[in-house]
Amino acid sequence: MGTMGTRIVSGIGAFGLAAALACGPGGEGGQAQQALRPASGGAGAGVAELMAARGLTDADVTAALKTYVPSGKHDDYYIFSSGGQSGQVVVLGIPSMRILKYIAVFTPEPWQGWGFGDRGSHEVLANGDRHGHEIRWGDTHHPNLSETNGDYDGKYLFIGDKANARMAVIDLEDFATKQIVPNPILESDHGAAFVTPNTEYVIESSQYPVPLGGEFAPIESYAETYRGAATLWKFDRERGRIDVERSFAIELPPYMQDLADAGKLVSDGYAFINSFNTEKAFGGNLEGRPPLESGASQNDMDYLHVIDWKKAEQVFQAGKAEQIRGFPVISLETAVAEGLLHFVPEPKSPHGADVTPDGKFIVVGGKLDTHATVYSFEKIKGLIDAKDYAGKDPYGVPILDFAKAIQGQVELGLGPLHTVFDDQGNAYTSMFVESKVAKWSLRDLKLIEKAPVHYNIGHIAAAHGDTVNPRGKWVVAMNKWAIDRFLDVGPLLPQNFQLVDVSGPAMQVVYDAPIPLGEPHYTQIISADLIDAIDHYDPVGTDPLTGELDPHATEGGKERIERQGNEVHVYMTQVRSHFTPDTIRVKQGDTVHLYLTNLEQARDATHGFGISSYNVSLSVEPGKQSNATFVADRAGVFPFYCLEFCSALHLEMAGYLLVEPREGQAGGEAPGSRAGAARHAAR
């Protein structure tokens, strides 16, 4: 234990403390242990005594020292994690693993006033509706930060919704969702979001093939009519929005496309998507066919899709795409004819397609294989340029020779999935079946070490670990179902993020962080100094969606209530500790338009607006404008109040909405109505 402890001592420079921790009783640390004991008992027991009392080992204490961030100090990195079926994004800090925020994306979230009356948030959510259905959840899988020259620039975050094939744009100035775009031709995605090195495009590729565009076709015609596709959403950085008009898709065969990554540096201009189910199985186990999963696991090889997206962009711009539901799609035929799609075989049920920091290699894990396969971009490019094909798939897509396209394979063990990289030329692969992180060298493709994690690791992330400039130091294992790591909370188990220190000769798991929101899939880890978040909106009355002054923003002193027929316009402001106006009189059946401006510019001056019975919850951060419209269809007296404890007189920050009955209507409901009867019965 001495070696490790000594290393850490010098690392953190805390002579007495760590020396004491490193040495057992009777060791050279005796003196240091003495030094740790508070002279006058002020802070309680010494560290050695605390360790003994709590049963902590040296490793426990070094882990604690590596992750503890004292009150008032900030973390070095942000983690942006998918929130799985919560439809949200989770933000944490490294090394503390403290959860900082759940960003509301696809699912309404009342604290952020997302989808509870705020008109802008409803517009964003409604834009994500599909086929006339209101969709108010998502299954977020892969967050991707915007990049400049292949490294995170800290400006935007994109995240796909696997369940409903949608893409969201989050602005990291205010950590708020700005846009949700439904995919017009797909029903599900998985290779999403993956950005190109200058965020020219945000890639969303399908998972489960369907007739593109959402029409019905019999499943027996799967091979003929079902298709996958890779969508290239054009990102307009100026506007901070996806530009649907300049976006397009490439039709793909009905294999199940899976993870994707964009090439970088030497491989810039290419995208790589792996696939499974080249068998084209579609299930039917009550109809005399094999279940989908066994039908999809017959072939020894599936196909890594190699897409020349720069060529595809030219083909699209040359007008050679067809329209499906009004969306331009480059047909498979055209993709083959233009030479922008090639396949390379990949071993049994692959998963994860990760481009190395130098852009030279693509690492693919094989769920049912014991290897990670390392493809050489140079070799792939050479084969494509020489038209050196090993064959064609049933759809005419040229297939390259496996042996000629790979650099090599690394024997890792059971269930390799995803791979990330550090700054020392090492790769870290998640081993789902083994519940381990495998560290291996990119130089010689040799396994270095495996560290156990708990349990069932899916994705893995490293600091800038999928960029041209990995930072090393930290890896996060994203484990599913923490069966025994935390206090029991019933059968639905939290997930477990384990922070792994990879800076030393041996990997050390230093922290377990439960993720109690949904199944987190991928995350990205960005250096904290790259994020430049605002602390208030400027000017006062800013619409967070446009970043500009909202036309309904109200200046202090100009608060008013205007009636136009049955429409009542309330121009309201907030400042600690009152709403102006705090009395709103309307008539039953009126439509109330509430225009709410937080006049404050201090960073800790967020107010809220909550009102009984009308399902409205607004978050009005300093300088923000939030507008809500509702029909006051129920007569009665409805208190509204500020939702944040903003000052000593926060409880007094309240008012009344008075909804007077219309002529001839005495009370809330018509007498004898069901609601009225129920209320009386309950008394």
**Cα torsion through 338, 341, 345, 346, rounded to 10:** 170
Binding site for ligand CUA (CB under 6 A): 607, 642, 644-646, 650, 653
CA separation for the pair 336, 252 (Å, rounded): 10
CA separation for the pair 3, 369 (Å, rounded): 37
Decide which of ligand CUA, ligand RUQ, none touches 607; Cβ closer than 5 to 8 Å per partner kind.
ligand CUA
CA separation for the pair 535, 427 (Å, rounded): 37
Decide which of ligand CUA, ligand RUQ, none touches 642; Cβ closer than 5 to 8 Å per partner kind.
ligand CUA
Min separation Cβ 513 and ligand RUQ, Å: 19
Any idea how long the chain is? 683
- Cβ-based nearer residue to ligand RUQ, 95 or 458: 458
Decide which of ligand RUQ, ligand CUA, none touches 15; Cβ closer than 5 to 8 Å per partner kind.
none
C-beta atoms surrounding 487 within 10 Å: 6
Decide which of ligand RUQ, ligand CUA, none touches 431; Cβ closer than 5 to 8 Å per partner kind.
none
In 3D space, the residue among 433, 427, 544 whose CA is nearest the CA of residue 104 turns out to be 544
Decide which of ligand RUQ, ligand CUA, none touches 342; Cβ closer than 5 to 8 Å per partner kind.
none
- Cβ-based nearer residue to ligand RUQ, 478 or 594: 478
DSSP summary character for residue 613: T
Greatest CA separation for the chain = 91
What distances in angstroms separate CA 126 from CA 11, 13, 134, 139, 167, one per listed residue?
Answer: 52, 54, 7, 17, 13
C-beta atoms surrounding 196 within 10 Å: 22
Task: Select the residue whose beta carbon is closest to ligand RUQ and give its number.
Answer: 521
Min separation Cβ 171 and ligand CUA, Å: 25
Distance between alpha carbon 666 and the CA centroid of its chain, in Å?
Answer: 51
Decide which of ligand CUA, ligand RUQ, none touches 653; Cβ closer than 5 to 8 Å per partner kind.
ligand CUA
- Cβ-based nearer residue to ligand CUA, 172 or 646: 646
Min separation Cβ 660 and ligand RUQ, Å: 54
Min separation Cβ 544 and ligand CUA, Å: 18
- Cβ-based nearer residue to ligand CUA, 239 or 603: 603
In whole angstroms, how large is the CA radius of gyration of the chain?
A: 29
DSSP reduced 3-state for 77: strand
Number of H helices, E strands in the chain: 13, 44
Decide which of ligand CUA, ligand RUQ, none touches 417; Cβ closer than 5 to 8 Å per partner kind.
ligand RUQ
Min separation Cβ 648 and ligand CUA, Å: 10
CA separation for the pair 543, 563 (Å, rounded): 23
- Cβ-based nearer residue to ligand CUA, 407 or 598: 598
CA separation for the pair 182, 166 (Å, rounded): 4
- Cβ-based nearer residue to ligand CUA, 178 or 607: 607
Min separation Cβ 573 and ligand CUA, Å: 12
Encoded tokens for 227: 């298709």
Question: Does residue 350 contact residue 370 with C-beta atoms inside 8 Å?
Answer: no
Decide which of ligand CUA, ligand RUQ, none touches 119; Cβ closer than 5 to 8 Å per partner kind.
none
Q: Which residues pair with 496 in a beta bridge?
A: 479, 514
Decide which of ligand CUA, ligand RUQ, none touches 372; Cβ closer than 5 to 8 Å per partner kind.
none
DSSP reduced 3-state for 508: strand
Please give the backbone phi and psi of residue 319, each rounded to the nearest 5 degrees, phi first: 80, 20
- Cβ-based nearer residue to ligand RUQ, 420 or 605: 420
The burial of 154, by beta-carbon neighbours within 10 Å (0-12 exposed, 13-18 middle, 19 or more buried), is given as buried
Min separation Cβ 576 and ligand CUA, Å: 6
Min separation Cβ 668 and ligand RUQ, Å: 49
Cis, bond preceding 455 (omega within 30 deg of 0): yes
Min separation Cβ 158 and ligand RUQ, Å: 14
- Cβ-based nearer residue to ligand CUA, 198 or 601: 601
- Cβ-based nearer residue to ligand RUQ, 144 or 619: 144
Decide which of ligand RUQ, ligand CUA, none touches 650; Cβ closer than 5 to 8 Å per partner kind.
ligand CUA
- Cβ-based nearer residue to ligand CUA, 470 or 655: 655
Decide which of ligand RUQ, ligand CUA, none touches 351; Cβ closer than 5 to 8 Å per partner kind.
ligand RUQ
Is the Cα dihedral 584, 586, 588, 593 positive or negative?
A: negative
Q: Half-sphere exposure (CA, 13 Å, Cβ side) for 526?
A: 23
- Cβ-based nearer residue to ligand CUA, 562 or 652: 652
Question: Does residue 232 contact residue 315 with C-beta atoms inside 8 Å?
Answer: no
Min separation Cβ 163 and ligand RUQ, Å: 11
Min separation Cβ 84 and ligand RUQ, Å: 9
Min separation Cβ 558 and ligand CUA, Å: 20
Decide which of ligand CUA, ligand RUQ, none touches 646; Cβ closer than 5 to 8 Å per partner kind.
ligand CUA
- Cβ-based nearer residue to ligand CUA, 202 or 540: 540
Please give the backbone phi and psi of residue 490, each rounded to the nearest 5 degrees, phi first: 90, 180
Please give the backbone phi and psi of residue 51, each rounded to the nearest 5 degrees, phi first: -60, -45
Binding site for ligand RUQ (CB under 6 A): 141-142, 190, 259, 351, 417-418, 458-459, 521-522
In 3D space, the residue among 165, 342, 153 whose CA is nearest the CA of residue 240 turns out to be 153
